[in-house]
């Protein structure tokens, strides 16, 4: 399906809002992942040895931001080119890191739900189904590319 200018704008606008409090929303994002799938904790090297989600962990923040930024970038590309282009090296790297960490396909739905919940929390009354749809569509395309790369490397 087509990705519209409106959808691209919604994604960009909402990222501008969440970006204003990275420590808060990266923590929220992560906590949601663990709330939906507690067992996923063991996948993340920076969590394995701690009892709770670490506040202000630089790695956690940096990774969470990357997930949002890459989804945002995917939305822009979907609008401009009608397809997703991730640099080969980046995709290979993401494929290998997730494969090595033990990530499997169903986890991608978990992360999507956590992402959506974080948007809901951050946007408040600006959140609506159109925003959710735009992010979901972009995320799905990105996730598909990563999953395909994981299968190729497997
Ligand atoms: C690492 C992005 C989906 C679990 C990373 C990194 C990025 C990233 C950028 C950091 C790589 C680095 O700089 O070292 C994404 C994107 C996803 C996605 C864009 C979906 C579109 C998932 C899913 C899971 C997951 C579904 C499973 C719950 C992990 C783990 C690591 C990781 C375990 C390694 C963290 C560590 O131990 O250091 N991901 N990810 N990711 N991701 Fe994802
Ligand atoms: C890595 N991959 C997917 C989601 C993430 C969320 C928070 C921190 C790191 C992540």
**Considering the chain, what is the average pLDDT of its residues?**
93
Closest ligand 2 atom, residue 60 Cα: 8
Pocket probe mutation, ligand 1, options 11, 29, 30, 67, max atoms within 8 Å of Cβ: 67
Please state which CATH number belongs to domain 5-153: 1.10.490.10
Question: Is the pLDDT reported for residue 143 higher than 90?
Answer: yes
Pair 78, 138: CB distance under 8 Å: yes
pLDDT of amino acid 56: 80
For range 86-109, the mean pLDDT: 94
Residue located nearest, by CA, to atom 1 of ligand 2: 63
129 band by pLDDT with thresholds 50, 70 and 90: very high
* Rounded Cα gap, residues 104 and 91, in angstroms: 16
For range 18-46, the mean pLDDT: 93
| Distance from the alpha carbon of residue 125 to the mean position of ligand 1, in angstroms | 29
Q: How far is CA 5 from the centre of its chain?
A: 21
Domain ranges of the chain: 5-153
What is the predicted ipTM? 0.96
- In 3-state terms the chain splits into helix, strand, coil percentages (rounded to 5) of 80, 0, 20
pLDDT of amino acid 10: 97
Question: Is the pLDDT reported for residue 12 higher than 90?
Answer: yes
Question: Is the pLDDT reported for residue 4 higher than 90?
Answer: yes
For range 135-151, the mean pLDDT: 96
Q: How far is CA 105 from CA 31, 57, 75, 88, 100, in A?
A: 20, 26, 21, 20, 13
* Greater model confidence, 49 or 117: 117
Ligand 2 contacts CB of residue 111 (under 6 A):
yes
pLDDT of amino acid 154: 79
pLDDT of amino acid 142: 96
Q: H/E element holding 44?
A: none
């Amino acid at each position: 399906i087509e990705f519209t200018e409106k959808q691209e704008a919604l994604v960009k606008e909402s990222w501008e809002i969440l970006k204003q409090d990275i420590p808060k929303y990266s923590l929220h994002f992560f906590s949601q992942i663990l709330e939906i799938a507690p067992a996923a904790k063991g996948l993340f090297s920076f969590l394995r040895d701690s009892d709770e989600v670490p506040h202000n962990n630089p790695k956690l923040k940096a990774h969470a931001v990357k997930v949002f930024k890459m989804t945002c970038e995917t939305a822009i590309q979907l609008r401009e080119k009608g397809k997703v282009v991730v640099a080969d090296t980046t995709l290979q790297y993401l494929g290998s890191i997730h494969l090595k960490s033990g990530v499997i396909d169903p986890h991608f739905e978990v992360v999507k739900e956590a992402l959506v919940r974080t948007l809901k929390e951050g946007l408040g009354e600006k959140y609506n189904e159109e925003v959710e749809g735009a992010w979901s569509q972009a995320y799905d395309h990105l996730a598909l590319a990563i999953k395909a790369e994981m299968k190729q490397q497997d």
